Amino acid sequence: MDRRFGLCVVGYGLAGRVFHAPLIAATPGLDLVGAVSSDPAKVIADHPDTKVFGSLDDALEDPAVDAIVLACPDELHAPLASAALKAGRHVVVDKPFAPTLAEARDVASLAGQCGRLVSVFHNRRWDADFLTLRGLIDTGALGDIVQFDAHYDRFKPQSGQRWKDRRPGGIWFDLGAHIVDQALCLFGRPQSVYADITALKPNDEMADYAHVLLRYPQARIILHMSQSVPAHGLRYCVHGTLGSWIKHGLDRQEDQSRAGLKPGEGEWGLDPVEGEFVSTGGERRRVPNRRGDFRQFYAGLRDAYAGTGSNPVATRDALDVMAVLEAGLRSAD
């Protein structure tokens, strides 16, 4: 690469430590030059050559920082993104884009005014199972899709105490952002949104259950997430005019990173749980999964920064996700 780009991660919790930092470090042409964290020892233990800054302002004073990656609580996304853009840096925002569509639009507008790129980390576009599904749809194996069910269930019977467990919008703004983006990648903007979003666990103030229907002219898209599902293996049920595809199990890249496997090494991105295709004539066969690779997000960013590619998650796409998330809240209310 003739040009390398330095990135600084703001926040070194789950998102910064498990997702962003390892992916940046493993992407050719990108350097993890810094992290903003209140726990320098944790950063240095994982990335000894990375600078640790006490604040975003400190990071923005370093000329080696070309882009800021926001892996911090949602309410900080818009103000910190704005500060970074005004300082002439590109910005990556972990999902959701912002607490509200209005704030997200303001950040997008500012990015245009500053001539800088803002991208939202919708990494689940590069899940092994989702890439496999896109392949089935693109080749016409399923025919015209009439019903798409995506599940993102878990079993967490106790109320969470982390900031992300207390975020406004609850599970819908957390896990929902992933599968809304996937649905829009496949089907575009829906005609309307119907949502049932609530807290099922006793004494839980934030939503831990969401069942959302996206309406399209000839299809219905169902997005379901709950923290009260002991048997939470179901991932997709997709039905088309030529057959169905049923998939269990979640992409392994997050668990692999937690276990210390570096992106691209060994079995990184391989999903051993194959989905089943059932034809309209009753034929059944297993469908090998494509290899997932979250690094493709950062490889796309590198090319976009260099002027040889486009934003891997277009700003318009990220705003559409926010519009659906907000429509879901209005519907539930």
Domain that holds residue 177: 124-292+324-332
Residue of 109, 116, 110 whose CA lies nearest to 88: 116
Does 75 share its domain with 31? yes
In a domain, 172, yes or no: yes
- 242: burial class by Cβ within 10 Å (0-12, 13-18, 19+)? middle
Number of domains in the chain: 2
Largest CA distance in the chain: 64
242: nearest Cα among 136, 143, 140, 147: 143
Residue 319 lies in a domain: no
Q: Is the domain of 128 the same as that of 231?
A: yes
Binned at pLDDT 50, 70 and 90, residue 137 comes out as very high
User: Which of 40-54, 103-117, 201-215 is predicted with the least confidence, judged by mean pLDDT?
Assistant: 201-215
The verdict on 300 and 190 lying in the same domain is: no
Before 96, cis peptide (omega within 30)? Answer: yes
Q: How far apart are CA 225 and CA 232, in angstroms?
A: 10
The model's pLDDT over 242-252, given as tens digits with 9 standing for 90+, comes to 999 999 999 99
Measured between alpha carbons, how far is 244 from 242 in angstroms, rounded to an integer? 7
212 and 300 assigned to the same domain = no
Strands (E), 48-89: 51-53, 67-70
**pTM for the whole thing?**
0.95
Calculate mean pLDDT across residues 254-270.
Answer: 95
Rounded mean pLDDT of the chain? 95
Question: Does residue 110 share a domain with residue 152?
Answer: no
Domain match, 131 and 224 both: yes
Query: In angstroms, how far is CA 51 from the centroid of its own chain?
Result: 26
- Token pair for 159: 């109320």
